Structure 1
Amino acid sequence: MKRTEFIQKSFQGLLGLALLEAVSTNVFGAEKLTVQQIIDTILKNYAGEPIKNTNDTIKAGSADMVVTGIVTTMFPTVEVIRKAHDIGANFLIVHEPTYYNGSDNKTLVANNTQVQLKEELLQKLNMTIWRFHDYAHAMRPDFVSYGVVRSVGWTPYYENSPILNIPETSLKSLIQLFKKGLKINHIRYIGNTDKPCKKVALLPGAWGGSRQMSTLVNQKPDVIIVGEAVEWETVEFIRDCQSLGHESALIILGHSVSEEPGMVYFAEWLGKKIPDLKVTHIPSNDPFKWD
């Protein structure tokens, strides 16, 4: 083969390869990724056995959908869904349920028009939702807990355990630390604000009364910090503890705001894994107003 012919054929081959690669890229030169490919990218960083009966499934949309942008959040509220659409994102990765119960059972309440309206909105906006809850907590470090300790400057004391031993401080100072670090306007608490706190049980989200109370009984922390608590369970347990001499204090942050830093951290982490797609965190915020 003549040298000029060889060069020509080589150039044609390279051009064909470039065109082939272009098929799998969008107009901005970034690789097109489907919802399932992104989910697979996330879960390949989990080292354990697959979680049986996981809640981490697609709640709306399609695994085959090509993703234009990703939004992370705590709760996929109607407001968050609309904001995600407004910025050109069509894939929501959420930590909590879409349809108001743990298993996202859309028929839990018969004739629930609220569920129907939300489904119609998601279909209209061509939005896919995937829940990232069980695996978020199972990974090392736990995305949520790490995001929270990072927000309050406690990473040196965090060992992927709900129990942290921090430099001694007062309950009042802890309350102010979490208000500032997690941007919370109001915090409920039980205990003497001058109480010294060193051993902390950090349980963001909704661990349930039995797990919260077993932590109090077995670990005897100076303070337990939770996302939410059933008032006739953990709250009354703490109140009686105060009267009977075991003075563990209680801080209630609010469910959404207590785990939001974890989804902020996750958005940053995911953005590094898939740099060709924009990953944005939109907070679902505290649903309550205070008078």
Structure 2
Amino acid sequence: MKDQFSPEKSKELQVQEVILHLTQDITLPENTVDQLITGSADQVITGIVVTFMPTQHVIEQAIQQGANLIIAHESPFYNHHSATDWLATDPVYTYKRNMIDQAGIAIFRCHDIIHRYNPDGITEGLIFDLGWNTYVSQRTSETDVVTFPEETTVRAVAQQLKEHLGLEYVRIAGGPETVCRRAAVLVGFRGNGHVTIPLVQNKHIDLIIAGEGFEWETPEYIRDAMQQGTSKALIMVGHAESEAPGMKLLADRLAAAFPAVEVSFVQERPVFEVI
């Protein structure tokens, strides 16, 4: 079987070649959201930008760099399935879409694909950025369980997250001085109760580290557990903040796989500010 990230060279690399590279040995669901949203499969690539969210800023950066392929984890058009009929007369959408089309930018959605790599490419990127590779004691399709070398506190883990991911803040439920040894790391929107609560129950997890989730599920479970005298905690990092490292790792691998074109990762600043 061909290595998932084996080097390939092409003087005139086309969009479809990169898509084939990303999807090799991957079986996607019938309702996958991964698709070429703009541009054409046969256009020659002048540069590749990899990002979490293809925002206005990211598109402007791609144009400035002379890149005409953006590989993004999320949709550019404000909904999971990239539908645009409901936005046809919206000025924000039309401005953005016209800029994309006029610049001849192809946008490929790499959402389901990277989550189906083994290990999950998004979780792997987050663990790599945190320097926790050697701490992974168990891995499933939805989470990495990490066992810290020694007991630590939620406050200390939160500080690590902020430092390594360049964050101004994270949100904590359960108390910053809660002692933890085993944590479950869940990226993106995997912080909901049906995923997290069984981990606490069955995997003897002290701390849940998640991107985001419904606030009336896992946070409330943690609150009740603490009220009952059970020391558990939750750190919500943010959806983009938890998943961007995985796309950064993908950019590094694509740069190695396609050395004939410039590949760069464009980081967007956090969408929320604390005031």
Name the residue aligned to 1:22. Answer: none
Name the residue aligned to 1:266. Answer: 250
Name the residue aligned to 1:31. Answer: 11
Instruction: Output the CA distance in 1 between the equivalents of 2:103 and 2:56.
Output: 11
Contact 2:179 2:231 in 1 (8 A): no
Instruction: Output the CA distance in 2 between the equivalents of 1:107 and 1:204.
Output: 30
Q: Say whether residues 1:251 and 2:229 are aligned partners.
A: no
Name the residue aligned to 2:206. Answer: 222
1:121-270 aligned at under 5 Å gives the runs 121-158=99-136, 159-161=138-140, 162=143, 163-167=145-149, 168-207=151-190, 209=192, 210-270=194-254
Amino acid at match of 2:245: P
Contact 1:256 1:285 in 2 (8 A): no
Q: Percent identity?
A: 33
CA RMSD in angstroms, aligned pairs only: 1.9
Contact 2:200 2:206 in 1 (8 A): no
Deviations 1:43-63 (CA, angstroms, capped at 9, x unpaired): 22x3x4343221111111111
Instruction: Output the CA distance in 1 between the equivalents of 2:39 and 2:58.
Output: 16
Instruction: Give the 3 Å change call, closer, same or farther, for CA 263–243 of structure 1 in structure 2.
Output: same
Instruction: Output the CA distance in 1 between the equivalents of 2:139 and 2:43.
Output: 35
Amino acid at match of 2:148: I
Unaligned runs of 5+ in 1: 1-28
TM-score normalized with structure 2 length: 0.88
Contact 1:206 1:255 in 2 (8 A): yes
Contact 1:226 1:253 in 2 (8 A): yes
* Structure number with higher relative contact order (C-alpha < 8 Å, ≥ 6 residues apart): 2
Contact 2:28 2:112 in 1 (8 A): no
Contact 1:189 1:252 in 2 (8 A): yes
SS in 2 for 1:232: coil
Instruction: Output the CA distance in 2 between the equivalents of 1:96 and 1:279.
Output: 18
Instruction: Name whichever of 92-101 and 115-124 sits farther off.
Output: 115-124
- The structure where helix makes up a greater share of residues is 1
Instruction: Output the CA distance in 2 between the equivalents of 1:270 and 1:173.
Output: 34
SS in 2 for 1:285: coil
Amino acid at match of 1:80: V
Contact 2:87 2:93 in 1 (8 A): no
SS in 2 for 1:241: helix
Instruction: Output the CA distance in 2 between the equivalents of 1:132 and 1:229.
Output: 21
Contact 1:169 1:197 in 2 (8 A): yes
Deviations 1:104-160 (CA, angstroms, capped at 9, x unpaired): 111346743332222112111111100111110110121111111111111112354
Instruction: Output the CA distance in 1 between the equivalents of 2:88 and 2:50.
Output: 30
Instruction: Output the CA distance in 2 between the equivalents of 1:218 and 1:99.
Output: 39
Contact 1:142 1:160 in 2 (8 A): no
**Residue of 57, 60, 63 corresponding to 2:41:** 63
1:38-117 aligned at under 5 Å gives the runs 38-44=18-24, 46=25, 48-108=26-86, 111-117=89-95
Unaligned runs of 5+ in 2: 1-8
Contact 1:228 1:255 in 2 (8 A): yes
